[in-house]
Amino acid sequence: GRVGRGERQAFCFLCVPAGAALLPAAYQRLKAIEYYSDLGSGYQIAMKDLEIRGAGNLFGYEQSGQISNVGFELYNKILNRAVLEKRGEGTPVKKEKLSVLYSGCAQIDKEYMPLVQDRLYFYQKISAATTVSEVSAVQNEIIDRFGPLREETINLFKIATLQCALYFYPFSKCKISCAEFSINLEAVPSGLRPQLFFEKLHKVFRVSSHPFKFVTGRSGVLVLSFKTASLSDSFSFSKKFVELFSRVAGE
């Protein structure tokens, strides 16, 4: 606790005996110390240690528990929900993200990130993100710790970025395949008259190089469907779609 408090530059060397096999928890702690090396990072290290060893029993004597099985963030959500239910208060309803059906591979590979706890931790952070900047922050953290992203992880972040970019619009489901990009619109964005909105929609997407059709599905859902040449073309168009639709909704 006294390292680095004087006027001289201080260093801390952690040595592991040659040939010694580290337990998973010890390896995680060393990686946490290595990653959180900036001034004032003690809180992050303490939180990571709490996640590794478990938070223990809230009303008992145990000083460690099973929090690592679900992650500290999810543990707090479950605990908060239980407290609200006990008080008789309703649980806040969180808006659901856009559901994306992707025909390719989008994941964090176990060879790239060996520890399942790390993969679960970052999956939870990606899932909790609601803005594009939050997704970018998680992506930068992974690159900083594990190196350049693999293709399947890049795809995962493209999907997460799409979900956050359209988070505040009334979309429910999206399909990204080799021949099509389609997305379901549940309602006309607030503040726009339906007839004027559809006129703008046709006008804006008419300039796109992708043939499209708008059809009404079940329960009045509007399905916007665009033909694409390949899976990568569908991904590229998804970014263009966000730009064009934002223009329609913002006019």
CB 248 within 8 A of CB 200: yes
Boundary residue ending a domain (167, 195, 211)? 167
Q: Is 3 contained in some domain?
A: no
Q: Is 9 contained in some domain?
A: no
d(CA 53, CA 81): 23
pLDDT digits (tens, 9 = 90+) for 225-249: 999 999 999 989 999 999 989 888 8
Tally of structural domains, the chain: 3
- Does residue 11 carry a pLDDT above 80? no
Q: Is 14 contained in some domain?
A: no
Q: In terms of residue numbers, what domain contains 222?
A: 169-251
- Does residue 21 carry a pLDDT above 90? no
Q: Is 12 contained in some domain?
A: no
Q: Is 105 contained in some domain?
A: yes
**What CATH number does the domain containing 151 carry?**
3.90.1150.50
Boundary residue ending a domain (113, 140, 167)? 167
Boundary residue ending a domain (112, 144, 167)? 167
pLDDT digits (tens, 9 = 90+) for 88-124: 776 555 678 899 999 889 999 989 998 888 888 899 8
**What CATH number does the domain containing 238 carry?**
3.30.70
Beta-strand ranges (E) seen in 124-197 are 171-176, 180-185
Burial environment of residue 104 by CB neighbours within 10 A (0 to 12, 13 to 18, 19 or more): middle
Q: Is 16 contained in some domain?
A: no
Q: Is 4 contained in some domain?
A: no
Same domain assignment for residues 220 and 205? yes
- Does residue 61 carry a pLDDT above 80? no
Q: Is 71 contained in some domain?
A: yes
Structure-model confidence comparison of residues 58 and 40, the more confident one? 40
CB 124 within 8 A of CB 138: no
Structure-model confidence comparison of residues 31 and 6, the more confident one? 31
